[in-house]
């Protein structure tokens, strides 16, 4: 500062210990110390979360720096600027003077400015005969010069924290994708395991994340998902080794080639059940791959080749169907649905209510299978307001399923996402 004594604010503004400390620090400027004012301003913009200042306060500081005549702040060039509030308003894009005063007070409280008020509170400068400024009254930028190293260090901390968060979120996104695709693959290939429990755990971890997680929150979720990924990988690799040792590699390859190509990467809970297995087989996890069953039966002449579309469709977990289509539950035998039998009974009620003919529903059951037909009716009920003719829509889906052109997965997953209680998560 130009003077070595304490200066107090004009009028009713009180003097504080913080102001006294700022003025004392400003007298400790080292001889010859200087810094580029715009470089320092950029550091201030980065460090603002740690300094407790807002964007609008920074806009006022930017305007004040624009009144400083030199490119570098230094004591030799003077450190006091003295624009009026009207001039500040022009350079702050028309900010109201009352708002300017409020943000100036914020900058002073943050220890980035010092008031050097004149006897009458006006801002001006007294000049020598040669035009050089002898004394100025306004705002001293000395704290910026004194705290330059601190501000740059704080800015570096903020940048490092932001990069750390970015890296964690990238790893979280990759790990989340890995887990989802591994579960999808396990369901598609009919791998043994409690995939419903694993997927529910996966969804629980993801849905606990807020929309904009902190580095700590993202790191906790990442740790959980990495452990889950390792568990899934180990379980699948053990099954692959077991199949290789048992001499079933050829059957395993044939099963991969016949798998449903439809992708359901954005999985919702639970495991798949294959069409063509009995209820007891499904509950015990012993369902034979439907396509293989179908081909064996065709070879032996027990079923017509035209029914192969039935085997190509797979049934989805009942929990997923009810999550995607919650309205069907109200039409169950006791006003709820807890089993496939109850879902199929509810589908018959919905079929009649929506005006679908018995023949159209019977044909859907023959082509798709009764579980898939009931699932489709539940989907039709969810979208009833957007479908002009439920019967015509069901017949069209049945024809497409017979040709192998229709998959229930995408329709079911779209409804599951739209009915999910938590949407738009980050990670």
pLDDT at position 34, please?
86
- For residue 142, what is the enclosing H or E element? helix 142-146
| Structure token digits, residue 189 | 């290939």
> What confidence tier does 192 reach under pLDDT thresholds 50, 70, 90?
confident
> Is residue 76's pLDDT more than 50?
yes
Contact 7, 23 (CB under 8 A): yes
Q: What is the 3-state secondary structure (H, E, C) of 220-232?
A: HHHHHHHHHHHHH
Residue with tokens 């048992």: 246
Residues 427, 422: Cα–Cα separation, whole Å: 14
Q: Which tens digit of pLDDT belongs to each residue from 257-268? A: 444 433 333 333
Q: Which tens digit of pLDDT belongs to each residue from 128-149? A: 766 677 678 888 888 888 888 9
> What confidence tier does 240 reach under pLDDT thresholds 50, 70, 90?
confident
Supply the angle between the helices 370-382 and 408-418 in degrees, to the nearest 10. Answer: 40
Mean pLDDT of 355-368: 91
Residue with tokens 């490092």: 160
pLDDT at position 283, please?
38
| Structure token digits, residue 385 | 């307001």
Residue with tokens 């606990």: 208
Separation of CA 221 from chain center: 13
| Structure token digits, residue 359 | 């023949």
**Alpha carbon separation from 260 to 42, 86, 289 (Å, rounded):** 55, 71, 11
Q: Of the segments 55-59, 298-302, 315-319, which one has the largest average pLDDT value? A: 55-59
Q: Which tens digit of pLDDT belongs to each residue from 265-289? A: 333 333 333 333 433 443 333 333 3
Neighbours of 409 (CB within 10 A): 18
Residues 284, 192: Cα–Cα separation, whole Å: 10
Residues 314, 401: Cα–Cα separation, whole Å: 11
Residues 31, 334: Cα–Cα separation, whole Å: 87
**Alpha carbon separation from 300 to 77, 294, 295, 296, 297 (Å, rounded):** 99, 10, 9, 6, 5
> Is residue 219's pLDDT more than 60?
yes
Residues 267, 169: Cα–Cα separation, whole Å: 20
Residue 400's SS3 state is helix
Q: Which tens digit of pLDDT belongs to each residue from 93-117? A: 889 988 998 999 899 888 888 888 7
Residues 297, 290: Cα–Cα separation, whole Å: 11
The strand pair at 34-36 and 72-74 is best described as: antiparallel
Q: Which tens digit of pLDDT belongs to each residue from 332-354? A: 888 889 999 999 999 999 998 88
**Alpha carbon separation from 331 to 22, 141, 157, 247 (Å, rounded):** 73, 74, 59, 48
Q: Which tens digit of pLDDT belongs to each residue from 392-423? A: 999 999 999 888 888 888 888 888 877 765 44
> Is residue 89's pLDDT more than 70?
yes
- For residue 172, what is the enclosing H or E element? helix 148-189
């Amino acid at each position: 500062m130009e003077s070595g004594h304490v200066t107090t604010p004009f009028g009713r503004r009180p003097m504080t210990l913080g102001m006294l400390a700022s003025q004392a620090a400003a007298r400790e400027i080292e001889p010859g110390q200087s810094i580029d004012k715009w470089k320092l301003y950029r550091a201030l913009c980065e460090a603002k979360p740690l300094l407790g200042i807002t964007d609008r306060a920074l806009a006022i500081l930017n305007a004040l720096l624009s009144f400083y005549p030199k490119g570098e702040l230094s004591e030799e060039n003077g450190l006091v600027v003295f624009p009026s509030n009207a001039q500040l308003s022009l350079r702050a894009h028309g900010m109201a003077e009352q708002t300017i005063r409020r943000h100036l007070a914020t900058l002073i409280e943050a220890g980035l400015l010092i008031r050097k008020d004149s006897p009458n509170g006006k801002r001006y400068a007294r000049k020598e005969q040669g035009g050089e400024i002898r004394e100025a009254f306004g705002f001293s930028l000395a704290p910026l010069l004194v705290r330059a190293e601190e501000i740059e260090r704080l800015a570096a901390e903020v940048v490092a924290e932001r990069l750390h968060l970015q890296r964690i979120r990238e790893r979280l996104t990759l790990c989340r994708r890995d887990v989802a695709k591994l579960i999808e693959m396990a369901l598609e290939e009919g791998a043994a395991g409690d995939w419903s429990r694993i997927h529910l755990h996966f969804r629980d971890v993801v849905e606990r994340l807020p929309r904009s997680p902190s580095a700590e929150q993202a790191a906790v979720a990442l740790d959980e998902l990495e452990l889950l990924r390792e568990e899934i990988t180990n379980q699948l690799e053990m099954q692959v080794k077991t199949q290789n040792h048992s001499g079933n590699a050829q059957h395993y390859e044939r099963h991969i080639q016949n798998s449903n190509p439809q992708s359901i990467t954005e999985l919702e809970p639970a495991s798949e059940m294959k069409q063509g297995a009995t209820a007891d087989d499904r509950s015990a996890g012993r369902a034979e791959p439907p396509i293989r069953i179908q081909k064996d039966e065709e070879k032996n002449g027990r079923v017509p080749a035209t029914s192969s579309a039935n085997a190509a469709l797979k049934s989805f977990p009942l929990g997923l169907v009810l999550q995607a289509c919650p309205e069907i539950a109200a039409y169950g035998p006791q006003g709820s649905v807890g089993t496939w039998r109850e879902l199929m009974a509810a589908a018959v009620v919905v079929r009649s209510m929506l005006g679908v003919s018995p023949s159209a529903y019977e044909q859907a059951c023959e082509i798709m299978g009764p579980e898939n037909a009931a699932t489709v009716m539940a989907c039709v009920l969810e979208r009833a307001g957007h479908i002009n003719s439920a019967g015509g829509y069901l017949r069209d889906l049945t024809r497409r399923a017979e040709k192998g052109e229709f998959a229930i997965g995408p329709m079911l997953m779209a409804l599951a996402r739209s009915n999910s209680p938590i949407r738009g998560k980050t990670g």
